[in-house]
Each structure stands twice: as C-alpha cells, then as structure tokens.
C-alpha cells in the first residue's frame, strides 16, 4: 500500500425505488472519483430502504446472489473508473439462507472478497434476525490492490473484539457500512447521547488499534410500514477518523454528501510506535473473554 490513500464515503437517503437508489450510489461514486478517491465506501443495504423495521417474508425478494447483478454492474463501474468499491448487499446464499454481506470490488472489477455480518441485532425497528443468518466467514481482512481492508457492518461497530481481531490480522483500516438512526420516542438529549456514543466507540477502535476508521451511515426518514412507530430518522454523521481517533471528515445529520479525505497511512506506523498496545497485551490472562458472562 502507498503511504497515502484517498478514500471517500457516499452518504445518501433511500426510497422504495431500487433503481433510483442505485443511480444515486453510482453518481456518488463518480463524484468521489472526480475528487481523486481511490477507495469508495457505500452505506449499509444501499440498494433499498432499511427493510428490517418489520418482519415481512415478501421482502426476501430484495436479496440477490453474490456474484450477481450488483457485483456485475458495480464491478464494471470499478473497472471503468479504476477504483476500489465497498458494497453492502442483502445476499441470497441459498433458499432460506440470507446474509447481510459487504463485498469489496477491486479496481479491475473483480470480487476481492466479502464479509458477512457477524453480530445480528434484534431490537424494535431493527428486526435483523428475521432476515439475516449470522456470518460464518469470521473476522478476516480482505486484500486488495490498495491494501488490506478490515470490513465490518453496523452492529459490529459496538464490539471491540471484532475490531481487534481485524487489526491483529493485519487490517490497515476499519470500514463500517452502517444504517442507524433515532426512533420517534427519543428526546433531543437522548438523540445526542446515542450519536455521541456511536462515534465515540468507533473512534476508540481507531485509538486502541492505531488504525483509520471509515464509517458510512445513511440519512433521511424512513416510515415504519406496519404503522406501529413513526419510523426511523437515520442520523447521518458519516465520518473518517485517523489512528488516534481524530475526526478527519464528518457529514451532517440530514444531508446527502460525498466525503473525501487523503489518509496518511504512515500515521498508523508512527502511532503504534509510541502507543504499543499490541506489545503490552497480556493474552495469557484473557481466557475469560471466551465466556458469555463471569458469574460472581
């Protein structure tokens, strides 16, 4: 990997019209490349609305195979533009087996690798366990022509174990396609606490592992088809942080944006020399991490 890398993320709102959503993603990638981006990250499930607000079997029709239509069309785009693209797809692996999957397309259009979301939430408005089988590919970085990428997805953001395992396997940055927002019941104070916590935990992954973090969230209000709630207001704030957790670029809470920044990859080397967390880990005393809970 070169010592500098220009990365971008596409923060967008989505509608019920899949082709319209895809065109917006394509235009975002083109804009990013026009600004010099070599790596472009799209948000979680960027083809459609965030359909997990309800449990509806007909929505499995949104799923596609990998390889499939999206990897083919975006692969052609990656090759035409000479850019690495991180997609986030609803994968149909087999009848009755579906995953929330990130795919990395290299700049020649080929599939460099994929990551299947490991931590699957099941909360009001986020009924992902109905749709997604937990990932079975482990926490394995994906090698590309630009370097080794640690891809994780949304709910994975809250688990330090996932970030650390990617870093220990040589990931040179952590990338999180995301779909997270506020419910109609959250007060303004609670909304601020949630957003701060979301950014804080990911910035801490950057600090503890000495790696840049790229987190791409969506914006816009999406209604709850069941009518049980007023839906989700996705809070945006997509951001790119450096290896000490410093914010290098940050999006707004409600605007569609393409954020682009050039990372100094030597920074990770410099930070790890003065903050050698990996050196001082006491792995012989960490066995209890393999337990669900330590009963008293």
- Is residue 154 part of the annotated active site? The answer reads yes
Q: Residue 253's CB: how many other CB atoms inside 10 A? A: 15
Residues with Cβ within 8 Å of 176's Cβ and at least 6 positions away in sequence, in order, are 152, 153, 154, 156, 157, 202, 213, 214, 215, 216
CA distance 260 to 250: 10
- Is residue 44 part of the annotated active site? The answer reads yes
**DSSP code per residue over 226-265:** TSSS--EEEE---EEE-TTS-EEEE--SS--EEEEEEEET
% helix, strand, coil for the chain, step of 5: 30, 30, 40
CA distance 144 to 41: 14
Of 24, 91, 114, 154, which residue is the catalytic one?
154
CA distance 42 to 233: 18
Of 24, 44, 91, 114, which residue is the catalytic one?
44
- Is residue 169 part of the annotated active site? The answer reads no
Contact criterion met (CB below 8 Å) for 257 and 238: yes
Residue 258 Cα distances to 28, 84, 90, 107, 225, angstroms: 6, 15, 23, 19, 29
Residues with Cβ within 8 Å of 207's Cβ and at least 6 positions away in sequence, in order, are 243, 244, 245, 275
HSE-up (13 A, CA, CB side) for residue 70: 30
Of 24, 107, 117, 257, which residue is the catalytic one?
117
Category of 182 on φ-ψ map: left (φ > 0), alpha (ψ -120 to 50) or beta: beta
Contact criterion met (CB below 8 Å) for 180 and 198: yes
Catalytic residues: 44, 117, 154
């Amino acid at each position: 990997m070169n010592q500098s890398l220009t990365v971008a993320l596409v923060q967008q709102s989505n509608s019920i019209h899949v082709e319209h959503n895809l065109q917006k993603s394509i235009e975002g990638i083109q804009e990013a490349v026009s600004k010099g981006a070599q790596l472009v990250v799209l948000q979680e499930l960027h083809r459609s609305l965030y359909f997990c607000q309800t449990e509806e079997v007909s929505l499995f029709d949104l799923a596609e195979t990998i390889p499939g239509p999206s990897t083919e069309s975006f692969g052609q785009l990656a090759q035409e533009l000479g850019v690495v693209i991180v997609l986030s797809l609803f994968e149909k692996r087999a009848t009755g087996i579906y995953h929330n999957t990130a795919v990395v397309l290299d700049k020649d259009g080929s599939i460099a690798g994929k990551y299947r979301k490991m931590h699957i939430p099941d909360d009001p408005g986020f009924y992902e366990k109905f749709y997604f089988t937990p990932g079975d590919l482990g926490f394995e970085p994906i090698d590309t022509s630009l370097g080794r990428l640690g891809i994780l997805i949304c709910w994975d953001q809250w688990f330090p174990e996932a970030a650390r395992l990617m870093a220990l396997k040589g990931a040179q940055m952590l990338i999180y396609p995301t779909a997270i927002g506020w419910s109609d019941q959250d007060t303004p104070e609670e909304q601020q606490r949630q957003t701060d916590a979301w950014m804080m935990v990911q910035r801490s992954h950057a600090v503890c592992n000495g790696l840049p973090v790229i987190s791409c969230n969506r914006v816009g209000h999406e209604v709850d088809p069941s009518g049980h709630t007023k839906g989700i207001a996705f809070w945006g704030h997509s951001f790119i942080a450096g290896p000490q957790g410093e914010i290098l670029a940050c999006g707004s809470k409600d605007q569609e944006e393409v954020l682009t920044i050039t990372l100094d990859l030597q920074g990770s080397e410099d930070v790890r020399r003065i903050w050698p967390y990996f050196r001082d880990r006491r792995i012989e005393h960490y066995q209890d991490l393999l337990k669900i809970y330590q009963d008293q």
